[in-house]
Amino acid sequence: MFRKTALLAAFCLLPLSQASAESWFEVEVFLFERNQPSAEVWPETPKQPNLAKGRDLITPALISAPDSSMTPCSADERAVDQLRCDALDLQIAAYVPEYPKPFPVTVSAANPASATPGASAVLLGKNQAQFTDAVRQLSREAGVKPLLHMSWQQAMQPRHASVPVRLFAGEDFSDRFVAAGTRVQPSQPYPEALESTPLGEASATAGSAAVNAEQPQGSNLAALLGGEQAPVALRRERPDPVWQLDGLLNIYLSHYLYIETDLMLRSPGSRKVEVLEETAALQDSAAGDLASSDIGALPGSTSALPATNERTIEAMNTEVVMEEQPFLYSIPLTQNRRVRSGQIHYFDHPKLGLIIQIRKMAQPAGAVDAEEPATEPEGDDTPENDVINQQGTDQPGTTTQNTDQQGTRPTSQD
């Protein structure tokens, strides 16, 4: 009886163990802007992707972590040289990583990489990409501006457990626009220790954080620091980047592979906005008599003050007028499509192109090859809801098409 119970328990646990095994695939994408005229009107308030849900493979590849000289002081070091450690704390707090300019089209790992058990995704090296020649050829075509080319390996999960990859590239508009599209408003700069100050001279800047924001740049801070003058840099607080291309790409496995996009392409333009304009109603008043008779010729002067006509404000009139202002449009590319591994799929759009391929790969230890159904189901089983933002896929201003390498639209078949 005990042996029979153990066998039944083992069979009951078998589906769970199989379901927990990972299936890894290799993904390669190429995104580009299409510089062609379009009659479509883009929404001024589009749905913004929830970028916090995305897995960022790009930033670690482009921005190096602070070097060892930026390591905080230990308790023993702080006891020996408090001023130096305070200055180092200021430098660490002021450290702001910067993306390269211009933003590179190809984002890749420094060395060839491969999947490891337990990892969720890994960025691949440049030589591991397979689109390189096609990307080079396509980039030479008129009206095509390449934005991003990258490849990675990831463990495919069911829809409810999938984590999208965040994709961003192109120009950073944060110096002119906020993410909502309106113009940046002037902000007050604040003082901070110069990032280029050597640590050996850092004790001279230790007190700079206590300086009021209105302290003139380059002023003498010896009274605060009890020593030589410390340089202070005034700069505006750096806003979050507003990328030309930004959004999420979600790939999940549910018998079939699915590609879900929630991307936006930002494009500068203008729009007409209602603004209140105040006009003053002015009234003339003669002041010439007062100027000539009451004041007269001043002692030592050669002539009297000339008569003047003054204008006084009688009332303020307010009216609504239309003013054309710069605006940063966000053009959406949102779609969910079932695909097959090995095929090259093209997501078409009036302004944005996406080429993507999902490839089978050698599985890392503990992972298993996913078995895709040999035949397509009848009808279109594309989910109606958007898992990335938990809402319907029908969004105003969303225009997409999807074709595979044979030129067919994969609605019911790929």
CB of 237 closer than 8 Å to CB of 190: yes
Domain boundary among 295, 323, 351: 323
**Is there a single domain that holds both residue 294 and residue 171?**
no
* Alpha helices per DSSP H over 230-312: 288-289
**Structural domain count of the chain:** 2
**Is there a single domain that holds both residue 114 and residue 166?**
yes
* Longest distance between any two alpha carbons in the chain, whole Å: 129
Helix (H) or strand (E) holding 5: helix 2-20
Beta-sheet strands, E only, within 229-384: 232-235, 243-254, 256-286, 309-339, 344-348, 352-360
d(CA 8, CA 382): 37
Q: 324-356 as b/e, with b when 16 or more CB fall inside 10 Å?
A: eeebbbbbbbbbbbbbbbebbbbbebbbbbbbb
**Is there a single domain that holds both residue 83 and residue 138?**
yes
In-domain check, residue 131: yes
pTM of the model: 0.66
In-domain check, residue 14: no
**Cα separation values, 393 from 33, 342, 349, 384, 387, Å:** 22, 26, 16, 7, 9
**Is there a single domain that holds both residue 349 and residue 283?**
no
CB of 57 closer than 8 Å to CB of 152: yes
CA 274, 277, 280 angle in degrees (round to 5)? 165
In-domain check, residue 234: no
Domain boundary among 293, 323, 353: 323
In-domain check, residue 9: no
In-domain check, residue 224: no
In-domain check, residue 304: yes
Considering only CA atoms, which of 283, 280, 358 is closest in space to residue 319? 280
Describe the strand order of the beta sheet including 165-172 as a list of residue ranges. 55-56, 165-172, 243-254, 256-286, 309-339
**Is there a single domain that holds both residue 294 and residue 397?**
no
In-domain check, residue 119: yes
**Is there a single domain that holds both residue 77 and residue 182?**
yes
Collapse the DSSP code of 202 into the 3-class scheme (helix H, G, I; strand E, B; otherwise coil) and give the result. helix
**Is there a single domain that holds both residue 299 and residue 153?**
no
pLDDT at 394: 42
Domain boundary among 323, 358, 385: 323
Helix (H) or strand (E) holding 134: helix 132-139
**Is there a single domain that holds both residue 292 and residue 346?**
no
Q: What DSSP line would sit under 73-95, residue for residue?
A: PPHHHHHH-HHHHHHHHHHHHH-
In-domain check, residue 200: no
**Which domain covers residue 126, as residue numbers?**
26-186+239-273+331-404
CB of 399 closer than 8 Å to CB of 44: no
- How confident is the model over 184-215, as pLDDT tens digits? 987 645 444 444 444 444 444 444 444 444 44
**Is there a single domain that holds both residue 360 and residue 389?**
yes
**Is there a single domain that holds both residue 265 and residue 290?**
no
Q: Which residue has the tokens 């906005």?
A: 273
**Is there a single domain that holds both residue 256 and residue 400?**
yes
CA 50, 53, 55 angle in degrees (round to 5)? 125
Q: Assign residue 131 a region: left if phi > 0, alpha if psi is -120 to 50, beta otherwise?
A: alpha
**Is there a single domain that holds both residue 396 and residue 294?**
no
Q: 22-48 as b/e, with b when 16 or more CB fall inside 10 Å?
A: bbbbbbbbbbbbbeeeeeeebeeebbe
Helix (H) or strand (E) holding 225: helix 222-225
CB of 153 closer than 8 Å to CB of 122: yes
> What are the mean pLDDT values of the chain's consecutive 10-residue runs (414 residues total)?
43 40 91 83 81 94 76 90 90 82 96 85 95 92 95 93 96 94 73 43 42 42 41 56 97 94 94 80 54 49 52 70 91 92 90 95 75 56 52 43 40 34
